[in-house]
Amino acid sequence: MQTESQASNEPSHVVPVTDKKNHSKNAIKSSRFRVQSIARHNDVNAQIDEDHDKTLQERSENRRQNIRQRQQQNLERIFKLCYDSCSDETAGEPDPDWIHHFITIAQDIYSPSMQKLWSRILRQEIITPGSISLKAMITFQQMTQRDAQLFRRACLLACHFGQDSSKKLLTGLKYRSGFLLKQPSIDRLNLGHYQLPYSHLLELMGLGLILNTELESGKLQNGTPLPFHYQGHDYQIQPAKNGLSLLYYRFSPVGQEIAQLLGNHRNEEYKIHLTELLNKHFIVTSDASMHHTVI
């Protein structure tokens, strides 16, 4: 067993004070390291790393060459993802101008997750030429990964009803209770509970994906069923009383185009609360059942 004096003679593993200071200084300067790393990756680090021997013209040409190579890699990756996702479904012939615009935009998509979405755009246009407009592509080009994530959340909550197949975000139901002169009451769905607060809706409106105004359906008549669809689930909703109307935000035409690329995916918690709200004011039946079982 070591004595206390013997232990005190052993080499210490305590980090020297100077090393601690250097570590702290490095942590503080981590932003400088990040800038330097980004500059090197994009070949604009000459004034940061002064130990270079290339002229300004050589550095400029080298950067342009690297950009062209990365753009080529981006396109090859997107087309490979598209190819892998295709099967033997019937394909059309996309417009050559559309393909030109697609390549011009898609070559500058560097994020793997966004490249995957761009491969879906290409696949959709190949299967159904004319389904993705140039305006939709330009809008999608302007979207960041965060924007795409916000829009995906909105799509998870989207429904449509009646004979109109355009996607909508149901925000509540308006109804009258009691005397006719009394102001209508509103039963709201809190979209913020499903990670889509109003501030995020405003961002999606700013991108032109959702129309700015909350809309109200016409008054629904008692005894007249209304088709209602939520992410692949089809229902018939029949008002329990007259005077009911639906409040909602409508996806823009561009939002509709981009939303179709994401497919039908639902938020199970939202589905539960949605059906609870509908059952509160409607007789709700499922089209999936031959006997229209009440849900």
| Structural domains in the chain (count) | 2
Burial status of residue 97 (CB atoms within 10 A of its CB: 0-12, 13-18, 19 or more): exposed
Domain finish residue from 116, 142, 168: 142
In this structure, are 121 and 178 located in the same domain? no
Does 26 reside within a domain?
Answer: no
210, pLDDT greater than 70: yes
Exposed e or buried b for every residue in 188-221, given b needs 16+ CB within 10 A? ebebeebebeeebbeebbebbbbbeeeeebeebe
In this structure, are 192 and 269 located in the same domain? yes
The two three-digit tokens of residue 245, written as one number: 């109307």
d(CA 69, CA 64): 9
d(CA 174, CA 188): 9
In this structure, are 128 and 204 located in the same domain? no
The two three-digit tokens of residue 96, written as one number: 């050559």
In this structure, are 255 and 208 located in the same domain? yes
The predicted-structure confidence for 119-128, as pLDDT tens digits, reads as follows 999 999 999 9
In this structure, are 96 and 183 located in the same domain? no
Does 116 reside within a domain?
Answer: yes
In this structure, are 124 and 81 located in the same domain? yes
Average pLDDT value over all residues in the chain: 85
- Containing domain of residue 98, as a range? 60-142
The predicted-structure confidence for 63-88, as pLDDT tens digits, reads as follows 899 999 999 999 999 999 999 999 88
In this structure, are 176 and 82 located in the same domain? no
The predicted-structure confidence for 148-163, as pLDDT tens digits, reads as follows 999 999 999 999 999 8
Domain finish residue from 78, 111, 142: 142
In this structure, are 113 and 211 located in the same domain? no
In this structure, are 83 and 167 located in the same domain? no
Does 248 reside within a domain?
Answer: yes
Backbone torsion region of residue 69, taken as left when φ is above 0, otherwise alpha when ψ lies between -120 and 50, otherwise beta: alpha
In this structure, are 202 and 96 located in the same domain? no
CB under 8 Å, gap of 24 or more: what pairs does 216-222 form?
216/174, 216/245, 216/246, 216/247, 216/248, 217/161, 217/162, 217/245, 217/246, 217/247, 217/248, 218/245, 219/243, 219/244, 219/245, 220/244, 220/245, 220/246
Domain finish residue from 142, 176, 195: 142
Q: pTM here?
A: 0.76
In this structure, are 168 and 136 located in the same domain? no
d(CA 174, CA 11): 77
In this structure, are 183 and 267 located in the same domain? yes
Does 150 reside within a domain?
Answer: no
d(CA 151, CA 187): 24
